[in-house]
Amino acid sequence: MKKLTLRLSFVLAVMLTFMACKKELSLENGGFGGVAQGELVDSLGNCKQAEVKGTYSIDTPLVITRNYVNIQVNFTAPGKYKIYTDTVNGMWFLDSGFAISTGVTVVKLKGYGTPILPKTSDFALYFNNNLCTFAVAVNGSGSSSGGGSGGGSNGDYFPTTTSSSWVYDYIPKIGNIDTFTVSVVAPEIQVDSLSYAQFATRLGDVFYFAKDKARGIYYALSTVDFDYTLIFDTIPTSFITYPFLKENAAVGETWSSPAQTGYWIGGNRGTAKAVFTVQNKGLQYTIGGKQYSDVIKIKREIMFLPDNSGSTYNTILTGNSYYAKGYGLIDQVLDGPNGTVAQSISLYQTPVIK
């Protein structure tokens, strides 16, 4: 499992002295060690031919079993590998795994995202110190008009249907990243009695969410944090499950995630938890050029208890998440000092919900 590794430069200005701005969790802490070595080029230094598979249309999410690119890799040493592209025109490709032997092999890069414009898109392909390119042609006929709808979600406040996708805008941008796409990919994973859908972002970052349909409660399989925005320096190597949205909860109702140890921030080790409060229900909310109705506003507080410092948690970051019925997370606004906005993760266009 791998978590998004974006750094939040605003955190130092917003939080206490132990605030920081990075965390990372690898899903590949298995029994294999070492990093694979190899090349994408032939003996003359020329890039090997990439074989693009599938049909690519605007507003139509890529499906990893149909939209992929076959590339030839000459592995010179076995080990873990990650081969990926940049994000172009709403799409990206990647694969990670373990090379058990050396020599030339075909690697299948799975496609993610949703094409935005009908044009030929040129991708940069990265592996170790190699850089090659390939092109993908996108046609102008898509599966949805105006960027999608909430009709396929059965009215969920956080749809988890495969091939659904969202494009979000970081305001302000983080590093050189301003927009990014999240897509629901197969297969689901089973934890206890719930099936968690995989939400994949660029560079192979994966988040897991599920719904208890009988009770209308939505769960994250994660560490303690906000959605797609990470603040701790170091996090535990295991995930916990916790509810982040209760569609039937009354305004004012509060609950918290389990407390989890093993977090580090600003040189302090300690325990973290998230506290959730229903702020409003039935809101009208406009974002990304579209007005959404029946929106639930959830306040989330990230709290931290340093080791050997008593029993009082410090609130290190507060924000509000907005969930629209049939569409999911449409906005997430993180609080800065003195009533300012430190960071927002907002819908860039109408989601595609399957």
Write out 30-52 in H/E/C secondary structure: CCCCCECEEECECCCCCECCCEE
Reported as a single tens digit per residue, the pLDDT across 5-58 is: 343 433 433 343 333 333 333 333 333 458 899 999 887 888 888 899 988 988
Average pLDDT in the 293-320 region? 94
Average pLDDT in the 179-205 region? 87
What does the angle CA 318 – CA 337 – CA 279 come to, to the nearest 5 degrees? 35
Reported as a single tens digit per residue, the pLDDT across 119-147 is: 888 899 999 888 899 999 888 755 443 34
Whether the predicted pLDDT of 290 surpasses 90: no
Of residues 161 and 15, the one with the higher pLDDT is 161
Reported as a single tens digit per residue, the pLDDT across 44-93 is: 888 888 899 988 988 888 888 889 999 999 999 998 999 999 988 888 99
Distances (CA, A) of 95 to 81, 240, 275: 8, 26, 35
By C-alpha distance, which of 4, 59, 46, 67 is closest to 226?
A: 4
**Alpha helix segments (H runs only) across 129-229:** none
Determine the pLDDT at residue 141.
58
Average pLDDT in the 196-213 region? 88
Look up the pTM and report it.
Answer: 0.63
Supply the DSSP symbol for 96: E
Q: Which domains does the chain have, with CATH numbers?
A: 11-25+145-347 (2.40.360), 40-137 (2.60.40)
Whether the predicted pLDDT of 100 surpasses 90: no
Determine the pLDDT at residue 76.
92
Burial of residue 46 (CB within 10 Å: 0-12, 13-18, 19+) is exposed
Q: How far is CA 225 from the centre of its chain?
A: 12
Determine the pLDDT at residue 145.
36
Determine the pLDDT at residue 142.
54
Determine the pLDDT at residue 153.
57
**Cα separation of 171 and 151, whole Å?**
28
